[in-house]
């Protein structure tokens, strides 16, 4: 199982972001992904989400359905396979 890391930086549009925050949180919680961890950075400039998946195409699909992505609230993002040490 590979760990997927989704790192994102938000646009500086607080009203847009606030309108999507709860939908974003609910979306990720309802997926029940294996080894899911996620949350904002302390300065709320963006966040990091990690989860397990052997299917990178599936992982991309899940991430691209995120309300922040679909709502165009993200300024920059990276999706990587993370070689985390146990």
* Segment 12-68, tens digit of pLDDT: 999 999 999 999 999 999 999 999 999 999 999 999 999 999 999 999 999 999 999
Considering the domain boundaries, does residue 58 fall inside one?
yes
Considering the domain boundaries, does residue 1 fall inside one?
no
Considering the domain boundaries, does residue 46 fall inside one?
no
Radius of gyration of the chain (CA): 13
Considering the domain boundaries, does residue 67 fall inside one?
yes
Whether the model pTM is above 0.75: yes
Considering the domain boundaries, does residue 71 fall inside one?
yes
- A 10 A CB-CB count for 39 gives 10
Domain ranges, residue 65: 15-41+51-82
Considering the domain boundaries, does residue 65 fall inside one?
yes
Count of structural domains, the chain: 1
Considering the domain boundaries, does residue 20 fall inside one?
yes
């Amino acid at each position: 199982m590979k760990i997927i890391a989704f790192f994102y930086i938000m646009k500086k549009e607080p009203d847009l972001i606030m309108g999507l925050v709860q939908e974003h949180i609910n979306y990720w919680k309802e997926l029940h992904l294996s080894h899911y961890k996620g949350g904002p950075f302390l300065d709320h400039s963006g966040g990091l989400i990690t989860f397990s998946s052997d299917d990178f195409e599936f992982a991309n699909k899940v991430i691209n359905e995120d309300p922040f992505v679909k709502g165009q609230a993200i300024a920059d993002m990276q999706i990587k396979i993370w070689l985390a040490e146990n």
